[in-house]
Chains A and B, each alone.
Chain A
Amino acid sequence: MDYVYSLISETYKILFLLLPLLTAVAMIVWLDRRVWAFVQKRRGPNVVGPFGLFQSLADALKYIFKEIIIPASSNKVVFILAPITTMTLALISWAVIPFSEDFVLSDINVGILYLFAISSLGVYGIIMGGWASNSKYPFLGAIRSAAQMVSYEVSIGVIIINVLLCVGSLNLTDIVLAQEKIWFIIPLFPMFVIFFISALAETNRPPFDLPEAEAELVAGYQTEYSGMMYAMFWLGEYANILLMCAMGSILFLGGWISPIDSYPFNLIPPTLWFIFKILLLFVLFALVKAIVPRYRYDQLMKLGWKIFLPFSLIWVVLTAGFLLYFDLLPKV
């Protein structure tokens, strides 16, 4: 009986997290298009609902009623599994994100490793989709994205080590609580910049959207997908972008902690601060998409391996040396 009860309560908690998350993903797509439009002096989606807020819902309805086409020469099982994998991986990583000190689905010891592991699995959805389509453009897109995501994971891993040196714990709640005095963006500012750029590459956002570069590869790995399967790729991609923003605000912007611990700022609940920080990072993501032109592939690889990796490794040595010299290393 206990099992049944805990099963029901856990399911309730998961739904309580996932339904707002999926709504947020739909809204974030609208925000992305609006910001993009404003930078280019266009209006963007503004017809459906107030300010065009329901545009994503209209799009989703359209995708649901479209026919799903499975190419005859494709590998059918893998072809269907690919968008499901992308979507699932994008959603399960939210299990460990702490929205405030007591609002977290599963407060595990190795939270940051879990996030890192799941985000490194994200490449499989793309590879599977590209391979199973059995067609040239998706395959090239998949190969590109495999190389790109593996390269930029390395530098994200080293950046996480930098933060962990200052915290002394792999738990995400501990990482946020360690920033009560000073947010890590101030002492580790160069790492924040590199994290932001690597997150762009990790989520295949412009200027690193080579896996789906429409000028060269039609739509990359998702060329053969249609209807709801395409929408699942798309939802998974935006959920991943939100996740990267959440990770950035936990690691560097102090998670749910308010910037100034005094009267008017205390009134705002911590969860709202966290969401506000995620939105701030997302608007930066959207601005970059509108402003920066796409990288060439060799430049992308050079940036990842020859600039980011050595620089963040040197910064690990500097951080460790500084903490050791001033005796600031966290005590276990």
Chain B
Amino acid sequence: MTAHAFFFYFFSFIAVVSAIMVTVSRNTVHSVFFLILDFISISSLFIMIGAEFLGMIMLIVYVGAVAVLFLFVVMMLNVAKQENTWFKSSTNSAHIPIGLLVGIIIFFEVIIVIGGWKYKPDLTSKITLSDITNTHSIGNVLYTDYIHLFQLSGMVLLVAMIGAIVLTFRKRDGLKRQSYFKQLARERNDGVSLVEVKSNEGIKIDD
């Protein structure tokens, strides 16, 4: 039991410290690295309470895909000059009150959720975890009782994805695209033609 407690405090300490470092660190890329460390320690905490499926999915989705895209975007900004000035300058601090407001709202939401959990004990899972793995139990709940919510969230994500593609898609002119079918269907007569060129007049190619 002592080893369990030791590892719990170890991972939660890293999680809290790296969460603070995400906001405090001067370099934006370092912030993303701390965010990744935070995700990893939280997924370790998930694994420690026996939710190994959630822990692994957390690693795959957040660390393996989402954070890579974060890093991708942040690195595209100017690397050398990108510095966090929120805690240095006194002039440009208009977003601190807004951030505080959002933080306070999230804090109260968490309190309400935990309170509801405490006073309504039947909100917690009814499935005993003794004989089946938690992958099976999540599947059993997700695809039977909550199938409509599950499908609905899938649809929301799909719409968001299509929206993002539509917003950023633009057709550019003067761009040569490769078409495999055209390329393979091309024959000698399409590409080569024999032309009589008159002397001193030349010929116009590729109009």
Question: When A113-B57, A117-B56, A298-B178 are in contact, do A127 and B64 touch as well, CB less than 8 Å?
Answer: no
Interface of chain A residues 94 through 116 with chain B (CB within 8 A)? 108-110, 113-114, 116
- Does B79 touch A at the CB level, under 8 Å? yes
Closest to A3 in B: B3
| A110:B52 contact, CB within 8 angstroms | yes
Closest to A6 in B: B3
Interface flags, B69-96, vs A, CB<8A=1, else 0 = 1011001100110000000000000000
Give Cα distance in the complex from A150 to B68, angstroms.
Answer: 8
| B60:A120 contact, CB within 8 angstroms | yes
Closest to A115 in B: B56
Number of chain A residues close to chain B: CB under 8 A:
29
Set of chain B residues within 8 Å of A142, measured between Cβ atoms:
75
Question: When A3-B3, A109-B133, A153-B65 are in contact, do A131 and B56 touch as well, CB less than 8 Å?
Answer: no
Interface of chain A residues 167 through 186 with chain B (CB within 8 A)? 170
| A117:B53 contact, CB within 8 angstroms | no
| B135:A146 contact, CB within 8 angstroms | no
- Does A315 touch B at the CB level, under 8 Å? no
Give Cα distance in the complex from A109 to B129, angstroms.
Answer: 13
- Does B22 touch A at the CB level, under 8 Å? no
- Does B63 touch A at the CB level, under 8 Å? yes
- Does B59 touch A at the CB level, under 8 Å? yes
- Does B33 touch A at the CB level, under 8 Å? yes
| B56:A110 contact, CB within 8 angstroms | yes
A120-B65, A134-B79 provided; 20 other pairs, C-beta below 8 A? Answer: A109-B133, A110-B52, A110-B135, A113-B57, A114-B56, A116-B60, A117-B63, A124-B68, A127-B75, A131-B75, A131-B79, A142-B75, A143-B76, A146-B68, A146-B71, A147-B72, A150-B68, A170-B133, A299-B178, A332-B136
Closest to B67 in A: A124
- Does A78 touch B at the CB level, under 8 Å? yes
Name the contact of A113 in the complex, choosing from B56, B72, B80 (C-beta under 8 A).
B56
Set of chain A residues within 8 Å of B63, measured between Cβ atoms:
117, 120-121
Set of chain A residues within 8 Å of B3, measured between Cβ atoms:
3
4 closest Cβ pairs, A-B complex: A120-B64, A113-B56, A117-B59, A117-B60
- Does B29 touch A at the CB level, under 8 Å? yes
Most chain A CB within 10 A, of B36, B60, B65, B75, is at B60
Give Cα distance in the complex from A161 to B58, angstroms.
Answer: 17
Measured CB to CB, the residues of B under 8 A from A are 3, 29, 33, 36, 52-53, 56-57, 59-60, 63-65, 68-69, 71-72, 75-76, 79-80, 132-133, 135-136, 178
Set of chain A residues within 8 Å of B132, measured between Cβ atoms:
332
| A150:B71 contact, CB within 8 angstroms | no
Closest to B53 in A: A110
- Does A208 touch B at the CB level, under 8 Å? no
Give Cα distance in the complex from A157 to B52, angstroms.
Answer: 18
Most chain B CB within 10 A, of A78, A127, A147, A299, is at A127
Set of chain A residues within 8 Å of B29, measured between Cβ atoms:
78, 131
- Does A285 touch B at the CB level, under 8 Å? no
Give Cα distance in the complex from A113 to B59, angstroms.
Answer: 9
- Does A79 touch B at the CB level, under 8 Å? no
| B60:A113 contact, CB within 8 angstroms | yes
- Does A137 touch B at the CB level, under 8 Å? no
Closest to B136 in A: A332
| A146:B72 contact, CB within 8 angstroms | yes
| B56:A127 contact, CB within 8 angstroms | no
Give Cα distance in the complex from A299 to B178, angstroms.
Answer: 9
- Does A282 touch B at the CB level, under 8 Å? no
| B72:A108 contact, CB within 8 angstroms | no
Set of chain B residues within 8 Å of A131, measured between Cβ atoms:
29, 75, 79
